[in-house]
Structure 1
């Protein structure tokens, strides 16, 4: 019986997925986070790099690979709240339907500040939605990275990724992962590689993922060059962006994940992680 994978192939997982060679008996489809979340929960795929919040919400039926994640310590650059007023003055925020994770994180961060603006589903680029009447827009993924750079760029000899401003063109960009770090001091785990407890992945697939990750991280400049061309962004931007990610679900990432779980889904089932076999 074929083992079915569902991959969310944003640039942030390119170091794992670009060179992944599926072993015999494994097939894969791709989609946006909400599509792959739904496919895994419906049993249409057996494993997926899903939103961490969906893993938390369905911890009764899902288990996560113990050594894979998509986490960051500090800014992520691609999960952004674009806004034209100070956070405490926001009234209407447009939310993308593509990501349950970023919406849950935004809700936690607003609640921690005692804020309760109206949250509405609306799709479109940040500047377009801001000009239509929203004073805040949540954007994720590759498009959010491009829109962030459009607002705060460009890079110059004096302006590096770490010294770019957080505003431009009359818009402020709040990086939700950086906001989480300021709040908690922990990394933020956006995604885990979760599977249905009744359908654990074959060891050959996990080993192939480790091989691909090792190759991708070892050739990060090549990955960045390839994806910079696809995104229409400078290589420096994409290389710094990828270098920020943590792909191994280490102890600090788990601490951040547990704290987020307590804040976002207080009565969740215990989180379950598979046995960590020897690193390949």
Structure 2
């Protein structure tokens, strides 16, 4: 058979995986396809990828057609450092205000909605936008009569990935720059799972040995990449124009496994997504390896 088509998130949060694959030459056992989370979600659901990291919300919405790979994910248990709400007013003042949502990550959309509606008690007008959009304006920059029009300026914006990392590292004066991973854990007590690794169910059933091999390669690559995180951070620092110490802290902050605590966090997120109307019901989770997480059933 052909090499399995495996997605790779083209953000810093997956750099340890890629670094580990390069170190261990594991990438020659698969065809790696880089992309932003939203693109990888579409590709695996369209059958253009066999295995891929997926935004948690898109996995939950399509769980019937997918199987989770054990011990692989992207989560935080406190600060995440790469998902930020940047606002010109306190979050409790965003009721009715226009909030820009990045088009690259569906999970971050839902996380922001849960926090804004359930913990900050506001219902903003969410505006999808492409990365790299312009600045923010305070509510006084537009009249109430124009508040919901397309020409009205944004009062807050959701950032993910490298832009969020930069914003949280050096917050812009006069803004509220909030780490949403930290807020989630502070309010719920759960870790937050942003992405899982999944295989198409039909592919996993047809090629279980290949899926098991890819899982093993990815797990070993993750471990090797994290062991070499200081060197990886030093290599990436000049390319990203960020301090190596910040990148090393970022890699150590993220949780790259998936165990019982991550499962509890994923279920808590699913509950919240149902409450805000972004998930129709709680799905049954299936695994490529039976008994991978004892509490999954």
Q: Runs (4+) of structure 1 moved beyond 3 Å?
A: 21-25
Q: Which residue of 1 aligns with 2:263?
A: 254
Q: Which of 193, 205, 212 is the equivalent residue of 2:214?
A: 205
Task: After TM superposition, give the deviation of residue 7 of structure 1 in Å.
Answer: 1.0
The CA distance in 1 between the partners of 2:130 and 2:60, in whole Å, is 26
Task: After TM superposition, give the deviation of residue 276 of structure 1 in Å.
Answer: 6.3
Q: Which residue of 2 aligns with 1:274?
A: 288
Task: After TM superposition, give the deviation of residue 141 of structure 1 in Å.
Answer: 0.5
The CA distance in 1 between the partners of 2:229 and 2:102, in whole Å, is 29
Q: Which residue of 2 aligns with 1:170?
A: 174
Task: After TM superposition, give the deviation of residue 149 of structure 1 in Å.
Answer: 2.0
- Structure 1 unaligned residues grouped into runs of 5+: 152-167
Q: Which residue of 1 aligns with 2:123?
A: 116
The CA distance in 2 between the partners of 1:230 and 1:254, in whole Å, is 35
Contact persistence 1:92–1:120 (CA under 8 A): yes
Q: TM-score scaled by structure 1?
A: 0.87
Q: Which residue of 2 aligns with 1:9?
A: 10
Task: After TM superposition, give the deviation of residue 133 of structure 1 in Å.
Answer: 2.5
The CA distance in 2 between the partners of 1:32 and 1:124, in whole Å, is 11
Contact persistence 2:75–2:195 (CA under 8 A): yes
Task: After TM superposition, give the deviation of residue 124 of structure 1 in Å.
Answer: 4.4
Q: Which residue of 2 aligns with 1:237?
A: 246
Task: Compute the RMSD of aligned alpha carbons.
Answer: 1.9
The higher radius of gyration belongs to: 2
Give the SS at the match of 1:202: helix
**Residues 220-277 of structure 1 deviation map (CA, whole Å, 9 limit, x = unaligned):** 1011112222211011111111110111112111101011112212513212223269
Alignment of 1:50-129 (within 5 A): 50-90=54-94, 91-113=97-119, 114-125=121-132, 128-129=134-135
Q: Which residue of 2 aligns with 1:227?
A: 236
Contact persistence 1:93–1:135 (CA under 8 A): yes
Q: Which residue of 1 aligns with 2:188?
A: 184
Q: 1:171 to 1:23 in 2, by over 3 A?
A: closer
Give the SS at the match of 2:203: coil
Structure richer in helix, relative to its length: 2
The CA distance in 1 between the partners of 2:28 and 2:37, in whole Å, is 25
Q: TM-score scaled by structure 2?
A: 0.83
Contact persistence 2:67–2:199 (CA under 8 A): yes
Q: 1:77 to 1:24 in 2, by over 3 A?
A: closer
Give the SS at the match of 1:108: helix
- Structure 2 unaligned residues grouped into runs of 5+: 138-151, 205-209, 274-278, 293-297
Give the SS at the match of 1:18: helix
Q: Which of 44, 57, 68 is the equivalent residue of 1:40?
A: 44
Task: After TM superposition, give the deviation of residue 25 of structure 1 in Å.
Answer: 5.5
